[in-house]
């Protein structure tokens, strides 16, 4: 199963996503969706599971702050803030202990990152929104098999198509 992973769109739907997510089976959005029709655009590609972020006002947005989905037998947690200031947050540690996922998708830092921690893949696709700071714009893909999880990042141009 091929999963498109996106975060921190901040209201921007880059048309490059259509190409990079072509043929995905599901899309995970890790928050800071922003205004506009980003989720509707993504839903035209594949089913979407999304969480809200600080830009969305968390609970006030009506989008959950965390989600747990099971795809190909893998439990995948989705949250916006897992890291803050370069460190795993207490809430992040609690979420991992409570949900016991195989993969945790998160956003907020705008930094593409994939790391294994205590047998859990922590995956941040990076930011697909307007370029900020010196960080690259990016999305991610998870490839899920019955006994395997692979991840990769796809860099986007500095400006949206």
Q: Does residue 115 carry a pLDDT above 90?
A: yes
Q: How many helices (H) and strands (E) does the chain have?
A: 3, 12
pLDDT in the model for residue 52 = 97
Domain 2-156 has CATH 3.60.21.10: yes
What's the rounded mean pLDDT across residues 134-152? 96
pLDDT in the model for residue 91 = 95
Q: What is the pLDDT of residues 125-141, one digit of tens each?
A: 999 999 988 999 999 99
Distance between CA 129 and CA 14 in Å, rounded? 8
pLDDT in the model for residue 44 = 97
Q: Does residue 85 carry a pLDDT above 90?
A: no
What's the rounded mean pLDDT across residues 46-52? 98
Q: Does residue 101 carry a pLDDT above 90?
A: yes
Which residues on adjacent β-strands are paired with residue 29? 6, 50
What's the rounded mean pLDDT across residues 73-81? 97
Q: Does residue 12 carry a pLDDT above 90?
A: yes
pLDDT in the model for residue 77 = 98
Whole-number mean pLDDT of the chain?
96
Q: Does residue 2 carry a pLDDT above 90?
A: yes
Q: What is the pLDDT of residues 30-41, one digit of tens each?
A: 999 998 899 999
Q: Does residue 59 carry a pLDDT above 90?
A: no
Distance between CA 4 and CA 8 in Å, rounded? 14
Q: What is the pTM of this model?
A: 0.97
Give the start-to-end residue ranges of the domains of the chain. 2-156
Q: Considering just the CA atoms, what is the radius of gyration of the chain in Å?
A: 14
Kindly state the percentage of the chain with pLDDT values over 70.
100
53 φ, ψ (degrees, to nearest 5): -130, -175
């Amino acid at each position: 199963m091929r999963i498109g992973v996106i975060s921190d769109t901040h209201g921007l739907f880059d048309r490059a996503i259509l190409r990079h997510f072509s043929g995905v089976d599901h899309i995970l959005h890790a928050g800071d969706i922003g205004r506009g029709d980003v989720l509707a655009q993504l839903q035209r590609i594949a089913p979407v599971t999304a969480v809200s972020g600080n830009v969305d006002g968390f609970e006030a947005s009506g989008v959950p702050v965390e989600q747990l989905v099971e795809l190909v037998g893998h439990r995948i947690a989705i949250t916006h803030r897992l890291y803050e200031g370069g460190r795993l947050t207490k809430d992040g540690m609690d979420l991992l202990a409570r949900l016991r996922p195989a993969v945790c998708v998160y956003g907020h830092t705008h930094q593409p990152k994939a790391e294994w921690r205590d047998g859990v893949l922590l995956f941040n696709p990076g930011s697909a929104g307007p370029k900020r700071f010196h960080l690259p714009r990016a999305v991610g893909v998870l490839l899920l098999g019955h006994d395997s999880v692979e991840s990769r990042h796809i860099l986007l141009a500095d400006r949206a198509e």
